[in-house]
Amino acid sequence: MSGWGPYAAAWAAFLLSHALPVRPAVKARLVARLGAFGFAVLYSAVSVAALAWLIAAAGQAPVVALWDPAPWARAAAQGAMLAACLLVAFAALAPNPLSFGGWRNARFVPARPGIVGIVRHPWLAALVLWAAGHLTANVDLAHALMFAGLGAFALLGMAIIDRRRRRELGHAAWARLTAHRPTWPDRWPLRLVAALALWTVLAALHPSLIGPAVWP
């Protein structure tokens, strides 16, 4: 298993960076010091940095091929990425008292939940789509473990956050916030354009940041 140490360290850093800041006592101190918005920015920055480290470590791990890539794998990955970018664009800067974060939640209108009425955890759902799409196109052990692990991590996170938020909000408030049907998010045309732009930029930067080109 020589050469797997940095990969294991990156996984440990990723898991700890997500688990420790949201512990009730730790989060309360950070929010008191930084504010809800500051905590959200810091948590997001640390999460992105840990994910970038994990991706880089997977690319440097020993190559152990598992299967041959399917001819449709690239198209599946790009379709999943487009869906993930849509979720990110529709969730960005939108209040969501049902998931992690917590800033601007006072502005949440249950009768107009937007994307939250469809997916309570759009950021985690985007991570699931990203992981599932890339799992089809990456055929070595390190990347398969990474994408499968990240997808499972996001799904487990949804269940944990649901349980925690139900407890924190109380049954009556939870029922009130989740009772309404989904509605179109505010400024949805702008968010749609932002999603397409994000998808295009990520695909264009993929060869220089990650390695393989995603467009023929």
CA distances from 143 to 60, 106, 108, 195, 209 (A): 10, 40, 38, 25, 16
Is 90 exceeded by the pLDDT of residue 216? no
Of all residues in the chain, the percent with pLDDT exceeding 70 is: 97
* Partners of residue 65 on adjacent β-strands: 140
pLDDT band at 16 (very low <50, low <70, confident <90, very high): very high
Average pLDDT of the segment spanning 39-64: 92
Please give the model's pTM, rounded to 2 decimal places: 0.88
- Categorise residue 102: left if φ over 0, alpha if ψ from -120 to 50, beta otherwise: left
